[in-house]
């Protein structure tokens, strides 16, 4: 067993202080799209391929000290943009579901009405998170 003490950077969600698991919360196609639209500031020590490999991990996202400040800022902006995009997409889907449920709600208030209430609460929470 080896023991090391190293300086590391952890990518985490700032409200809950929960480490980001990139392979779970960042869809690969969204990461690749972001990289196409916003070129990654590569260095010899940390390349675009390294970033892609890290974003496919299901574990906690830990960056070594070799990652530059510019790269850390890029990763921060990329994660924010992708997660905000996912929140907006969820909001749109919930709004559509509420509209459809409202159309079918005539006389069926018990089950559909309850579902609409839950969706409305979820929609309010998502809107707060994305603002």
What is the pLDDT tens value at each position of the chain, 131 positions in all? Answer: 788 887 788 888 887 888 889 998 888 999 999 999 999 999 999 999 999 999 999 889 999 889 999 999 999 999 988 888 776 777 777 777 777 777 666 655 566 667 777 778 777 777 766 55
Q: pLDDT tens across 23-41, in order? A: 988 889 999 999 999 999 9
- Which pLDDT value is given to residue 75? 95
Which of 128-131's residues contact partners 24+ apart within 8 Å by CB, and which partners? 129/87, 130/84, 130/87, 130/88, 130/91
Q: Is the separation of the CB atoms in 112 and 104 below 8 Å? A: yes
């Amino acid at each position: 067993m080896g023991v090391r003490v190293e300086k590391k950077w952890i990518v985490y969600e700032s409200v809950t202080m929960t480490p980001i698991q990139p392979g779970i919360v960042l869809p690969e196609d969204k990461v690749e799209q972001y990289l196409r639209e916003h070129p990654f500031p590569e260095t010899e020590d940390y390349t675009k391929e390294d970033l892609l490999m890290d974003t496919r991990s299901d574990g906690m996202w830990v960056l070594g000290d070799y990652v530059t400040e510019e790269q850390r800022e890029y990763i921060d902006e990329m994660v924010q943009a992708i997660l905000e995009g996912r929140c907006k997409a969820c909001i749109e889907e919930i709004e559509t579901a509420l509209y459809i449920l409202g159309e079918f709600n005539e006389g069926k208030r018990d089950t559909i009405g309850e579902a609409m209430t839950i969706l409305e609460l979820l929609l309010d929470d998502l809107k707060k998170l994305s603002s």
